[in-house]
């Protein structure tokens, strides 16, 4: 029996005791009300039985003809009429597996909140594969043992074709549970017409000449990294003492009135409208802004380096068709399929060989030669991974240091 | 038997509302209060405590957000009242047979999603947008002038989004006012302004009161306007709660702050209804 069950029982006892006591003090009443609520939640909080021997578990799985794939919107190749997804169609034809593709992930946190209680109760989430960004929620899925370890022998293409930048990431050493779907860079974007000069450094986000027209991210994981990089500190290996220093420099930036707003995704509108001249930015957004007509906007990997994030394919526990998921992973990690997807998605492709496929077979040099989709090795050498949180306390320490910047 | 049934009838008839209250209000409320008292973290789970100090302690560090929420809430509600009263008055008294058309026009923007409407303002009010751009080019406004990312943008957004919610209750009471009372006042040599202050304003007080509650409570807890139209230093309690919930996953903090906000709103409403409550209004009207 898990800890949660026991506490549920204990509080249930407290509840009954409280209910049968002749004189109900207010405190006991409050506790009773809380206990009633916790008792109501108890079945949900009960832990799923964890599989001990994953090797045996995998061996006991039988191939199925179904595959349910949960992904983010606009994250797979789609025909112009929106009816066909060529990479999925080809997979179905090749394997005879029927794919149910669901664009249900808008953001990591709400999606996590949606599946976590289900997984915790030991129920299947209904998905065989989900795509999660590296960061706290993926770490939490791993800590809770909500992800099935990948049977690597079934995915030989990963070892053959995956870019060095997506192998052995700090958040999942040895790619035991995750394989990258797409990556992206967090760097700086600017409008040269407004800044009237080249931007090369995080220092430029602190330039008083741009006061009131600097955009920063409200996501504290990103914001903290920007502060660290400005001070020349590598976020991946940073320490709490360095986080404090980064927070101090970010506070100074705010106090001087440089920051216009701490943005979520909406920074891109502000940049397109000219409200902000220079901003923290995601590479994929700038690529899309460029191709929809905002040609002036530029994305740079600053001299201190950019941050690389990864959206990862992973198999949630309780998946009904895990072998189909492995099959899909192996299928995706080929130049042809990754190229097909990449030509539509335009983030950073985890398969470098897809570049030649897009150039020679699909014949789309705009994508193949874009440094935003296939960054040159010299740029990838200058990118940093997020700091991987060790536990919840570690995560809260980061939050408590950086939250006040956005919140006060 | 028959009597018993008659006695029970009102309770049975109100059963659906009780079930509704229980399912969508009391149980979530108990669950929120319970969570506020819980200790633990999302990985190892939560246990109950009876540490009320902890709940109250959540307030420290977020005082400024609370103050800001109440100040934005009050300001936006007062401004909404000032704007919607004349509109409701005009529709009720002068719109004739087109009343429902005008009400429909006021409701029309509300058929569009809330977030889309706020985003539209972000576009309209942008520094070089079609509103401020030409004014700046003509030199009417200084180049550095901006509306977005200020507290006025947030308050403006709140006003815009609550406009219809104030017009409707005001319209309902104004429409019901017996016009003969106004005519009688005029016959007794009351100037139009006096008639308005002595007759119409007191009779419409229940609408002012109801609309104020409706708009004030919603606006104090809002976080979308601050997130999209605000800037650094416009963080409201709603935003802090959202962060605590989705970013830090600090559910006890989120629940504590929500409970505190609810308590404060309840006290504010009690004081408000004590001061301007329906009893007082009726006395005044009489």
Domains along the sequence of chain B with CATH: 1-50 (no CATH), 60-285 (1.10.3720.10)
- The answer to whether residues A106 and A137 belong to one domain is yes
Domain that holds residue A178: 62-183+309-363
Q: Over the stretch A267-290, which tens digit does the pLDDT of each residue have?
A: 999 999 999 999 999 998 898 899
- The answer to whether residues A202 and A284 belong to one domain is yes
ipTM above 0.90, yes or no: no
Per-residue pLDDT, A38: 47
Inform me whether the pLDDT recorded for A8 exceeds 60. Answer: no
Which residues in chain B have their CB less than 8 angstroms from residue A262's CB? Answer: 232
Which residues in chain B have their CB less than 8 angstroms from residue A41's CB? Answer: 31
Backbone angles phi, psi at A69, to 5 degrees: -120, 115
A219 found inside a domain:
yes
Average pLDDT over chain A, rounded to whole?
Answer: 88
Contact A319, A341 (CB under 8 A): no
Residue whose entry in the numeric block shows the structure tokens 């220079």? A278
Confidence of residue A67 (pLDDT cuts 50, 70, 90): very high
Per-residue pLDDT, A396: 94
Return d(Cα B164, Cα B215) in angstroms, integer: 10
- The answer to whether residues A276 and A403 belong to one domain is yes
Q: How many CB atoms lie within 10 A of CB A238?
A: 21
Per-residue pLDDT, B4: 64
Domain tally, chain A: 3
Per-residue pLDDT, A35: 46
- The answer to whether residues A206 and A300 belong to one domain is yes
* Token duo for residue B118: 């706020």
A275 found inside a domain:
yes
Q: B136 CB near a chain A CB, below 8 Å? A: no
A193 found inside a domain:
yes
Inform me whether the pLDDT recorded for A109 exceeds 60. Answer: yes
- The answer to whether residues A105 and A156 belong to one domain is yes
Inform me whether the pLDDT recorded for A3 exceeds 80. Answer: no
Per-residue pLDDT, A43: 43
A47 found inside a domain:
no
- The answer to whether residues A190 and A179 belong to one domain is no
Inform me whether the pLDDT recorded for A252 exceeds 60. Answer: yes
Q: B41 CB near a chain A CB, below 8 Å? A: yes
CATH number at residue A344: 3.40.190.10
Confidence of residue A16 (pLDDT cuts 50, 70, 90): very low
Contact A277, A194 (CB under 8 A): yes
A273 found inside a domain:
yes
Q: Which of B30, B37, B42 sits opposite A140 (nearest CB)?
A: B42
Give the residue from B41, B249, B254 with the most A CB atoms within 10 Å of its CB, the best one to mutate. Answer: B249
Cβ-in-10-Å burial (0-12, 13-18, 19+) of B69 comes to buried
Inform me whether the pLDDT recorded for A206 exceeds 80. Answer: yes
Per-residue pLDDT, B32: 92
Contact across the interface for B48 and A38, Cβ inside 8 Å:
yes
Contact across the interface for B149 and A30, Cβ inside 8 Å:
no
A381 found inside a domain:
no
A382 found inside a domain:
no
Cβ-in-10-Å burial (0-12, 13-18, 19+) of B269 comes to middle
Confidence of residue B129 (pLDDT cuts 50, 70, 90): confident
Q: Over the stretch A113-159, which tens digit does the pLDDT of each residue have?
A: 899 989 988 899 999 999 999 999 999 999 999 999 999 999 999 99
B104-109: average pLDDT = 92
Q: Which of A34, A260, A399 sits opposite B149 (nearest CB)?
A: A260
Confidence of residue A354 (pLDDT cuts 50, 70, 90): very high
- The answer to whether residues A172 and A189 belong to one domain is no
Confidence of residue A300 (pLDDT cuts 50, 70, 90): very high
A72-93: average pLDDT = 93
- The answer to whether residues A403 and A283 belong to one domain is yes
- The answer to whether residues A152 and A34 belong to one domain is no
Inform me whether the pLDDT recorded for A26 exceeds 60. Answer: no
Contact across the interface for B126 and A273, Cβ inside 8 Å:
yes
A46 found inside a domain:
no
Q: Which of B41, B246, B250 sits opposite A109 (nearest CB)?
A: B246
Return d(Cα A30, Cα A36) in angstroms, integer: 10
Average pLDDT over chain B, rounded to whole?
Answer: 90
Per-residue pLDDT, B52: 82
8-state DSSP, B277:
-
Contact across the interface for B247 and A220, Cβ inside 8 Å:
yes
Chains A & B: contacts with CB separation below 8 Å: 131
- The answer to whether residues A67 and A117 belong to one domain is yes
**Model confidence, pTM:** 0.84
- The answer to whether residues A220 and A201 belong to one domain is yes
- The answer to whether residues A237 and A348 belong to one domain is no
Q: Over the stretch A153-199, which tens digit does the pLDDT of each residue have?
A: 999 999 999 999 999 999 999 999 999 999 999 999 999 999 999 99
């Amino acid at each position: 029996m898990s800890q949660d069950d026991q506490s549920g029982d204990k509080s249930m006892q407290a509840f009954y005791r409280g209910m049968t006591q002749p004189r109900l003090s207010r405190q006991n009443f409050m506790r009773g009300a809380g206990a009633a609520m916790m008792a109501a939640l108890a079945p949900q909080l009960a832990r799923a039985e964890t599989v001990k021997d994953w090797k045996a578990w995998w061996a006991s799985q039988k191939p199925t003809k179904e595959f349910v794939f949960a992904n983010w919107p606009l994250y797979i190749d789609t025909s112009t009429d929106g009816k066909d997804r060529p990479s999925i169609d080809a997979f179905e034809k090749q394997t005879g597996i029927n794919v149910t593709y669901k664009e249900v992930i808008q953001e990591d946190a709400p999606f996590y909140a949606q599946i976590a209680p289900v997984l915790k109760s030991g129920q299947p989430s209904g998905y065989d594969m989900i795509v999660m960004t590296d960061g706290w929620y993926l770490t939490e899925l791993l800590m809770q043992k909500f992800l099935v370890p990948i049977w690597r022998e079934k995915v030989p293409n990963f070892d053959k074709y995956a870019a060095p930048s997506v192998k052995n990431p700090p958040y999942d050493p040895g790619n035991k549970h995750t394989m990258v779907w797409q990556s992206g860079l967090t760097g700086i974007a600017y409008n040269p017409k407004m800044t009237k000069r080249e931007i090369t450094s995080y220092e430029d986000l602190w330039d008083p000449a741009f006061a009131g027209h600097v955009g920063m991210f409200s996501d504290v994981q990103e914001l903290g990294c920007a502060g660290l990089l400005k001070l020349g500190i590598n976020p991946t290996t940073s320490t709490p003492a360095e986080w404090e220093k980064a927070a101090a420099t970010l506070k100074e930036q705010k106090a001087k009135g440089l920051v216009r707003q701490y943005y979520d995704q909406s920074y891109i509108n502000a940049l397109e409208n000219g409200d902000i001249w220079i901003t923290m930015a995601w590479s994929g957004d700038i690529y899309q802004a460029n191709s929809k007509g905002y040609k002036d906007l530029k994305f740079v990997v600053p001299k201190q380096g950019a941050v690389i994030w990864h959206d990862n394919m992973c198999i949630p526990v309780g998946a009904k068709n895990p072998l189909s998921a492995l099959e899909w992973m192996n299928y995706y990690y080929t130049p042809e399929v990754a190229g097909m997807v990449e030509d539509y998605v335009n983030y950073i492709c985890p398969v470098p060989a897809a570049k030649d496929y897009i150039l020679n077979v699909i014949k789309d040099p705009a994508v193949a030669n874009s440094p935003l989709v296939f960054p040159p090795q010299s740029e990838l050498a200058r990118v940093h991974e997020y700091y991987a949180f060790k536990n919840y306390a570690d995560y809260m320490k980061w939050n408590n240091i950086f939250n006040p910047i956005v919140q006060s | 038997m028959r009597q018993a049934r008659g006695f029970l009838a009102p309770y049975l008839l109100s059963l659906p509302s009780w079930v509704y209250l229980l399912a969508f209000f009391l149980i979530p409320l108990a669950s929120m209060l319970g969570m506020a008292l819980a200790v633990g973290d999302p990985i190892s789970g939560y246990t109950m405590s009876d540490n009320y100090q902890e709940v109250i302690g959540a307030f420290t560090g977020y005082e400024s957000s609370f103050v800001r929420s109440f100040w934005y809430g009050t300001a936006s509600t007062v401004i909404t009242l000032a704007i919607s009263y004349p509109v409701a008055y005009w529709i009720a008294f002068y719109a004739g047979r087109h009343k429902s058309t005008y009400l429909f026009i006021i409701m029309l923007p509300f058929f569009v999603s809330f977030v889309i409407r706020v985003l539209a303002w972000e576009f309209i009010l942008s520094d070089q947008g079609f509103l401020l751009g030409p004014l700046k080019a003509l030199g009417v406004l200084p180049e550095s002038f901006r509306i977005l990312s200020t507290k006025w943008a947030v308050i403006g957004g709140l006003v815009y989004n609550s406009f219809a919610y104030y017009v409707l209750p005001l319209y309902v009471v104004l429409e019901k006012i017996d016009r003969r009372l106004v005519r009688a006042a005029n016959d007794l040599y009351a100037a139009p302004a006096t008639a308005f202050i002595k007759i119409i304003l007191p009779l419409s007080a229940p609408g002012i009161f109801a609309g104020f509650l409706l708009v004030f409570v919603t606006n104090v807890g809002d976080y979308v306007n601050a997130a999209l139209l605000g800037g650094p230093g416009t963080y409201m309690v709603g935003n802090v709660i959202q962060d605590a919930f989705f970013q830090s996953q600090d559910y006890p903090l989120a629940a504590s702050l929500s409970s505190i906000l609810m308590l404060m709103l309840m006290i504010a409403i009690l004081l408000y209804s004590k001061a301007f409550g329906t009893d007082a209004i009726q006395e005044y009207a009489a």
